[in-house]
Structure 1
Amino acid sequence: MKRILSGVVAVLLSGTAAIAADIYQPPVEPIVEQPVEVIQTSGWYLRGDVGYAWNNLRGANFYQGGPGGSIAEFATAEIDDSWVAGVGVGYQFNNYLRTDVTLDYWGGGDFAGSTFGGCGSVVGPCVSSDVSSVSAWSLMANAYVDIGTYGAFTPYVGAGVGATHVKWDKLRNTSCSVSNPGACDPTTEHEGESKWRFTYALMAGTAIDLTCNLKADVGYRFRQVDDGNMFGYANGGGPGYDEGFYIHEARAGLRYSFGNVCEVPYEPPPEPIVYK
């Protein structure tokens, strides 16, 4: 009997060991998070932009008969579309708020206008052809709200206030007979005027990450420039005044930041190769 019991116990023990060997699992390696390398710099950035401007002259008027005469409006008054270019320096306070100061040049807006009235040496009603051009420098202080970052894109909205130095070229005025367009008075030149004017701006766009510190900036800007002097008195006409500008701009540029926090995966140095 003892021999039988010893044999049964030996069989059971050997089966238990086999089962344990079958269900054995190696220990699970702990999950180690991949470290990142953080590059911390200041919050300053530089920017440069170029764009296309759709210009709207809000109106223009002048004195007939000199400064003591009556005010008359141009029958037509338009300026062509033009281009803009600018630079700026700014500061990123956090992920949502930044400000900058920008200096922009707005150039090459050709003016074309006309008036109706009498001529000097030509009999009958006349129509004038008035041509000039306008350019400007704008100095603006701006603030932006970055709405959030979605992948490489960070949309934003902003607003700015500042001043624009508007410079008008000479206005050349030629009046010709309505019934006989070949009969014209000699061309009169009025000296152009220049003046600093209050300006405000509204912006919207998106920044696109190119590298950790370099972003492309694509957006829209609206500017309203106040009214001011346009041209002086000459030959019985003037001075003249414009009623200000609405400027719609499509802009693209680059922003180089000295202040981004860049996170890149840490890569340990390669293991040395050992030749055996």
Structure 2
Amino acid sequence: MAGIGAGLVAGFAGPSLAADITDEPLVIRDPAPVVYEEQGSYSGWYIRGDVDYHWSKFRGADYITYGASPGTGSFDHHKLKGAMSAGIGAGYQFDNRFRTDLTLDWLAKSKFRGGTSGWCGASQCTSVDTTSYSALLLLANAYVDLGTWHRITPYVGGGIGGAHVKWDKLDNTICDDPNNPGCSTTTHGGKKGWRFAYSLAAGASYCLTKNLDLDVGYRFTRIEGGKMFDYAGPAGGIGAGPGHDKGLNNHEVRGGLRYTFGEGSGRCEEPQTVVYEPEPIYTK
């Protein structure tokens, strides 16, 4: 009887213990760390060179008039033609998001043509005015890179600084003065000087090599107003000037290259990949 009882107890206890062992939760031990492939650096000094074509918008001008109707005059109509420009710069890439640089651009001559109306003695007359301007643009810039996809990195940025604007001589030609048949031209000396300037930019760079990027984009530059031309006129104090322009707006389409020293940029490399990832270890 004792043997039968022990067998019954063992028979009932066996499944119970097995169930306890089977139902015990599994514990996952932390595996060894994942090993990733190394990527290039995102920081370093760089130099840049750019060329562009820009369209300048003349914001108007005022000048003093003398003679039969003294006061303040302005151009009735005006237009500036587009021109090329080129620039150089140096900067530093802090990380994969932020960089700054200092740039110096030479804006080639942009031709100006305008027209004025006034008094020629007791009669009203009109004129054609021609000149051109060029400038050196010095800006401290900052950019935010928005991420990299297939080696392409879009960005936005802006700059602040100054522009040294140089106006050539202005020729004021009158062809319908009733007191002087034919055409007569009065030449005003041009003015030059430094002015405040700022810019806003957007574009994208493409990684050619780990050290070389192709950069294309758009930049808007505002140059504040300043002196444009001197007084000129016949003897007796009848003439016009000096003149002050109200500023220039430049719209630029730019392209250039950036060279990063040292290890270069990690933008040319593929996204970080796993070299080794161990299997998790399960324990009871």
Match in the other structure for 1:58: 59
Whether the 8 Å contact between 2:175 and 2:184 is mirrored in structure 1 is: no
Aligned length: 229
**Residue 171 of structure 2: SS of its match in structure 1?**
strand
Aligned letter for 2:50? D
Whether the 8 Å contact between 2:120 and 2:177 is mirrored in structure 1 is: no
Consecutive unaligned residues of structure 2, counting only runs of 5 or more, are 1-33, 234-238, 271-284
Distance in 2, matches of 1:92 and 1:40, equals 10
What TM-score, normalized by structure 2, do the two folds share? 0.74
For residues 112-261 of structure 1, the aligned pairs below 5 Å read 112-119=113-120, 124-177=123-176, 183-235=181-233, 236-258=239-261, 260-261=264-265
Q: Deviations over 1:101-150 (max 9, x none)?
A: 00001112101111112226xx7432101100000000000000000011
Distance in 1, matches of 2:147 and 2:43, equals 20
Deviation at 1:264, TM superposition (A): 6.7
Consecutive unaligned residues of structure 1, counting only runs of 5 or more, are 1-31, 266-276
Whether the 8 Å contact between 1:139 and 1:163 is mirrored in structure 2 is: yes
Runs of 4+ in 1 over 4 A off after TM superposition: 32-36, 38-42, 261-265
Q: 1:117 to 1:103 in 2, by over 3 A?
A: same
What TM-score, normalized by structure 1, do the two folds share? 0.76
Deviation at 1:261, TM superposition (A): 4.5
Q: Which deviates more, 206-215 or 250-259?
A: 250-259
Match in the other structure for 1:4: none
Match in the other structure for 2:71: 70
Q: Deviations over 1:22-58 (max 9, x none)?
A: xxxxxxxxxx97965x666961000000011011001
Whether the 8 Å contact between 1:52 and 1:83 is mirrored in structure 2 is: yes
Distance in 2, matches of 1:175 and 1:40, equals 64
Q: Deviations over 1:225-267 (max 9, x none)?
A: 00000000111211111110110000000000115345879xx
Q: 1:56 to 1:264 in 2, by over 3 A?
A: closer
Match in the other structure for 1:108: 109
Deviation at 1:203, TM superposition (A): 0.3
Distance in 2, matches of 1:35 and 1:49, equals 35
Deviation at 1:70, TM superposition (A): 1.1
Percentage identity across paired residues of the two chains? 48
Distance in 1, matches of 2:195 and 2:89, equals 20
Distance in 2, matches of 1:212 and 1:179, equals 70
Aligned letter for 2:192? S
Whether the 8 Å contact between 1:226 and 1:244 is mirrored in structure 2 is: yes
Whether the 8 Å contact between 2:43 and 2:95 is mirrored in structure 1 is: no
Distance in 2, matches of 1:153 and 1:258, equals 20
**Residue 184 of structure 2: SS of its match in structure 1?**
coil
Deviation at 1:152, TM superposition (A): 0.8
**Residue 149 of structure 2: SS of its match in structure 1?**
coil
